[in-house]
Amino acid sequence: MTTKYREMVAAQTLTGSAVSYYTTPAGTYGALHAGSICNPTGAVVTVNVYKVPNAGSAGAPTKIASKVVGPGATIAVPEIVNHKMEPGTQLYADGLACTLNISGIEYVPS
């Protein structure tokens, strides 16, 4: 068994469309432990985070968080905490020009 703490999404600048920023590797399981969003712009931005199963797509059924982030603000995303990730599961996000950070743990069974 191998357990590794890691930054699953590290300082990624988001676009206006949902894009995949992390995929759980084959044979690996994960759990999300923390997330934060920074909005460096001068406008309010809505940021969405999706947990998408293998061969799925980002949309309402896979959304795990939606946050409105004020101009210049940095906020936590507690809604993602403790979500489990099966092999092949992806994290997608959107929120034009905001920066996303998500950390967690990867577990590889023996």
Collapsed DSSP state (helix, strand, coil) of residue 72? coil
User: Buried b vs exposed e over 63-99: b needs ≥16 C-beta within 10 Å?
Assistant: bbbebebeeeeebebeebeebebeeebbbbbbbeebb
Residue 97 is predicted with a pLDDT of: 98
* pLDDT < 70 positions in the chain: none
pLDDT of residue 23: 98
Domain range for 94: 2-108
| Residue 15: per-residue pLDDT | 98
Tokens of 106: 């990867």
Q: What is the pLDDT of residue 24?
A: 97
Total domains, the chain: 1
**pLDDT of the residue at 1:** 83
Write down how long the chain is.
Answer: 110
CATH classification at residue 94: 2.60.120.340
pLDDT for 25: 97
Alpha-carbon span 85 to 100, nearest angstrom: 18
Helix (H, G, I), strand (E, B) or coil at 21: strand
Q: What is the mean pLDDT of the chain?
A: 97
82-100 pLDDT, tens digit each: 999 999 999 999 999 999 9
Q: Is 80 helix (H, G, I), strand (E, B) or coil?
A: helix
pTM of the model: 0.95
Query: What pLDDT is recorded for position 96?
Result: 98
What's the CA gap between 37 and 46, in Å, rounded?
10
Per-residue model confidence (pLDDT) at position 110: 83
Helices then strands, each counted (H, E), the chain: 0, 9
